[in-house]
């Protein structure tokens, strides 16, 4: 009994490492110095890109695998294998959920920056200064290291070389901001041809807001399907509980016989495939 408790405790510790924290906690944000001079803020000196911490990603999988060995010795290989499979799948699902929330927050911040850019241009601010302010607004969000590098390069180029190849630098911004910055690069190119940039950016702001409303509407329509998938996923556990109450001992059959172990492995695999398929279908609809 002591070995069982110790093994499950180790597996629980590994699972705690697998659970991602909030986006704010998982990112190492380097604060800017207080009261920067206008030139320092203009050129962005003292700013460092936001870099995600990676030590959990490097330690979680080996720790789960190592804790599966004493767990298998204590409770059997079938339960240990199922716990390991569900632990890895849950870790991946939670990481994807945290990343999706960060992407949504970054898209919302990009929409705010684009609306501010349109307002600044209508107020008579120069395009380079307005674009610089918009990029600074986006940089304050949960950007990844590649996106932060691309944004910093574009921000400095807008200040030092406003008539250079700014559209190419805007198109180089990766991640969830790529669609907005790709359209912004096209608008900047049209402005070089004499078309008023304020009108183009205003239409771009309207288009991105419409796309965001469509995405939110799609999320509402797929919410019932996701809820149904979660309920169906719990039916195997309910079936095992009913079988135990009726005296059929399904857990003993699945864990102590070769045929039961094969059925348990196939059931876990199909269960995880169903989870992955449901998540993929919801992502396809939302994109």
Residue 88 in this model has a pLDDT that exceeds 70: yes
Per-residue pLDDT, averaged over 42-64, amounts to 50
Least confident of 148-152, 177-181, 193-197, 254-258: 193-197
pLDDT at residue number 186: 83
Residues in the chain: 287
Mean per-residue pLDDT over the chain, rounded: 74
Residue 47 in this model has a pLDDT that exceeds 80: no
Q: What percent of the chain has pLDDT over 70?
A: 70
Per-residue pLDDT, averaged over 244-266, amounts to 87
Confidence band for 27, pLDDT divided at 50, 70 and 90: very low
Residue with more model confidence, 61 or 199: 199
Least confident of 67-81, 105-119, 143-157: 67-81
Confidence band for 266, pLDDT divided at 50, 70 and 90: very high
pLDDT at residue number 160: 78
Least confident of 116-120, 160-164, 198-202: 160-164
Residue 287 in this model has a pLDDT that exceeds 70: no
| Residue ranges covered by each domain of the chain | 2-286
| pTM metric for this prediction | 0.64
Closest of 186, 188, 178 to residue 132, by C-alpha: 188
What is the three-state SS of the chain?
A: CHHHHHHHHHHHHHHHHHCCCCHHHHEECCCCCCCCCHHHHHHCCCCCCCEECCHHHHHHHHHHHHHHHHHHHHHCHHHHHHHHHHHHHHHHHHHHHHHHHHHHHHHHHHHHHHHHHHHHHHCCCCHHHHHHHHHHHHHCCCCCHHHHHHHHHHHHHHHHCCCCCHHHHHHCCCHHHHHHHHHHHHHHHHHHCCCCHHHHHHHHHHHHHHHHHHHHHHHHHHHHHHHHHHHHHCHHHHHHHHHHHCCCCHHHHHHHCHHHHHHHHHHHHHHHHHHHHHHHHHHHHHC
């Amino acid at each position: 009994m002591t070995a069982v408790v110790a093994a499950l405790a180790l597996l629980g510790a590994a699972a705690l490492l697998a659970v991602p924290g909030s986006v704010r906690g998982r990112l190492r944000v380097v604060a800017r110095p207080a009261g920067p001079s206008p030139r320092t803020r203009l050129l962005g000196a003292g700013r460092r890109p936001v870099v995600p911490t990676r030590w959990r990603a490097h330690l979680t999988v080996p720790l789960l695998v190592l804790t599966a060995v004493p767990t298998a010795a204590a409770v059997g290989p079938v339960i240990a294998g199922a716990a390991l499979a569900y632990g890895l799948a849950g870790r991946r699902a939670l990481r994807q959920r945290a990343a999706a929330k960060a992407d949504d927050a970054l898209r919302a911040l990009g929409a705010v920056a684009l609306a501010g850019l349109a307002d600044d241009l209508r107020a008579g601010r120069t395009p380079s200064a307005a674009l610089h302010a918009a990029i600074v607004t986006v940089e304050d969000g949960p950007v990844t290291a590649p996106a932060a590098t691309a944004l910093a390069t574009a921000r400095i180029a807008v200040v030092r070389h406003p008539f250079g190849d700014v559209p190419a630098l805007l198109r180089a911004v990766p991640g969830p901001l790529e669609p907005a910055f790709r359209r912004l690069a096209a608008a900047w190119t049209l402005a070089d041809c004499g078309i008023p940039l304020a009108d183009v950016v205003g239409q771009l702001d309207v288009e991105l807001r419409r796309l965001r409303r469509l995405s939110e509407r799609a999320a509402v329509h797929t919410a019932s399907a996701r809820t149904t998938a979660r309920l169906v996923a719990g039916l195997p556990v309910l079936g095992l509980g009913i079988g135990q109450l009726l005296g059929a001992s399904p857990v003993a059959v699945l864990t102590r016989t070769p045929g039961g172990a094969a059925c348990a492995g196939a059931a876990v695999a199909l269960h995880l495939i169903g989870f992955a398929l449901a998540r993929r279908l919801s992502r396809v609809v939302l994109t």
